[in-house]
Amino acid sequence: MIGAGRAHSPAGAELSAAFVGRIPPIGWRCAAIQSSSRSARCPPGPRGEHSPNPRRAERALMSDDFVLDVTKIRDEARRKMEAGPVTDSYGLDKDRVIGILNDVIATEVVCWLRYTRHAISASGIDRAQVSSEFTEHAKEEMQHALRAAERVSQLGADPDFDPASLAQRAHTDYTTPPDNDLKAMLEHNLLAERIVIASYQEIIRWLGEHDPTTRRLMESILEEEEEHADDLVDLIGI
């Protein structure tokens, strides 16, 4: 048999005898390998002990530091709760922002009054379509005023709805063309919308990155005002 022949081969016997009992233990082999390659990993020694991992220890220390930082920030925020949602990093004159927002409230309330008046008093062959659009715009203008008022409250002030000063603080006028002149009503409201759009664009530029919350509010309102202007342009062409 081939297998038996190999097992009793003199050469094979000499080769086996040369290595019998001469294979060093695992620990010795690893020591030899480590001497030639520092990156080699060995099984644990007789005591099963591993040397500490410096990177793991560093990560644990960093994690502890981060938790301490978060705790400090949380404690600071709790101490400043009475100041409202405006942090020390607020980059604008808060009173100036509040004043601008109160003017926005006045502008939106005056627009609500004008649209409501025109929706009720409009007459003519196209009254139903125009009145419906005015009513929809009026609702949205009041929502704008309420959203601006909410932001004023967040900034720690009272929104100004004083009727005695609304017209003076508004960016647009309250005008009432003849009830049967739908085109004049549309044109008056379109002019008002364009004035509002231009003024809100300036407010947004001024706010910049200093007050992103108020800026996003104004951008949202501006988007709807631009839609109002487009609606009015379409209605003028009917």
Judgement on whether residues 211 and 123 belong to the same structural domain of the protein: yes
Res 26: pLDDT = 47
CA angle (174 as vertex; 171, 179 as ends), nearest 5: 150
| 27 falls within a domain | no
Res 22: pLDDT = 47
User: What gap in Å lies between CA 139 and CA 127, rounded to an integer?
Assistant: 18
Higher pLDDT, 40 or 177: 177
- Res. 207: pLDDT tops 80: yes
Judgement on whether residues 113 and 210 belong to the same structural domain of the protein: yes
User: What's the total number of domains in the chain?
Assistant: 2
Judgement on whether residues 172 and 100 belong to the same structural domain of the protein: yes
Judgement on whether residues 157 and 100 belong to the same structural domain of the protein: yes
CA-derived radius of gyration, the chain:
40
User: What gap in Å lies between CA 118 and CA 237, rounded to an integer?
Assistant: 18
| 7 falls within a domain | no
Judgement on whether residues 125 and 211 belong to the same structural domain of the protein: yes
Structure tokens, 71: 């705790």
| 43 falls within a domain | no
Res 56: pLDDT = 57
| 28 falls within a domain | no
Cα–Cα distances in Å, from 211 out to 45, 85, 96, 105, 128?
Answer: 62, 12, 12, 18, 42
Residue 159 banded pLDDT, cuts 50, 70, 90: very high
| 44 falls within a domain | no
Judgement on whether residues 183 and 74 belong to the same structural domain of the protein: no
Judgement on whether residues 185 and 67 belong to the same structural domain of the protein: no
Judgement on whether residues 108 and 163 belong to the same structural domain of the protein: yes
Residue 196: CB atoms within 10 A of its CB come to 26
What secondary structure letter does DSSP report for 161? -
What is the tens place of the pLDDT at every residue in 66-117? 455 666 666 665 665 445 445 455 667 899 999 999 999 999 999 999 999 9
- Res. 16: pLDDT tops 50: no
Res 115: pLDDT = 97
For residues 220-233, give the mean pLDDT. Answer: 98
Structure tokens, 201: 């664009």
Q: What percent of the chain stands above pLDDT 90? A: 54
Which range marks the domain in which residue 73 is found?
54-83
Judgement on whether residues 192 and 134 belong to the same structural domain of the protein: yes
CATH code of the domain covering residue 174: 1.20.1260.10
| 33 falls within a domain | no
Judgement on whether residues 224 and 160 belong to the same structural domain of the protein: yes
Judgement on whether residues 111 and 64 belong to the same structural domain of the protein: no
| 192 falls within a domain | yes
| 139 falls within a domain | yes
What is the tens place of the pLDDT at every residue in 163-175? 999 999 999 999 8
Could you identify the residue written with the tokens 């930082």?
Answer: 69
Which of the residue ranges 122-126, 159-163, 200-204, 205-209 would you say has the lowest mean pLDDT?
A: 122-126
Res 69: pLDDT = 60
Judgement on whether residues 74 and 100 belong to the same structural domain of the protein: no
Domain boundary among 83, 104, 125: 83
